[in-house]
């Protein structure tokens, strides 16, 4: 029985030392990560920020380029996913309206033109 106790104590000490080293001495630091690595709720926040910027700048091309940082999905799909997630999370209706406005603008957007198609 003494060997098992010593073995378990050694395992506990090793695990504790490893966690202390990883969390205190040399923790992982993420630098310059891409927005596509964000969790879905943070991606939704990012889309909201793009929608807020679109409201001020009124540039669909710039909004689409910003949305492209979230992955390979078309910008409209990304915004629609964010709208669904924002509804589930419980975003403020004013924020959902901003995202909805961006989605409506992207429905008529032609990437080959500077301005939206009427």
Show pLDDT as tens, one digit a residue, over the chain (118 residues). 689 999 999 999 999 999 999 999 998 887 888 888 888 899 999 999 999 999 999 899 999 999 999 988 899 999 999 999 999 999 999 999 999 999 999 998 877 765 544 4
- CA-CA distance, 95 to 87, in Å (whole number)? 10
- CA-CA distance, 39 to 45, in Å (whole number)? 10
Q: Which pLDDT does position 114 carry in this prediction?
A: 57
Residue with tokens 């991606």, as numbered in its chain: 43
Q: Which pLDDT does position 111 carry in this prediction?
A: 74
Q: Which pLDDT does position 1 carry in this prediction?
A: 67
DSSP 32: S
**First-last CA distance in the chain:** 81
Candidates 61, 114, 104, 54; CA nearest to 83 is 104
DSSP 24: I
């Amino acid at each position: 029985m003494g060997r098992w106790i010593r073995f378990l104590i050694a395992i506990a000490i090793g695990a504790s030392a490893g966690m202390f080293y990883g969390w205190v001495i040399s923790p992982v630091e993420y630098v310059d990560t891409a927005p596509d690595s964000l969790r879905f709720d943070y991606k939704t926040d990012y889309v909201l920020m793009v929608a807020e910027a679109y409201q001020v700048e009124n540039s669909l091309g710039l909004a689409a380029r910003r949305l492209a940082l979230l992955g390979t999905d078309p910008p409209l799909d990304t915004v629609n996913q964010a709208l669904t997630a924002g509804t589930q999370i419980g975003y403020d209706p004013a924020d959902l309206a901003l995202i909805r406005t961006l989605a409506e603008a992207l429905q008529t957007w032609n990437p080959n033109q500077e301005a939206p198609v009427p």
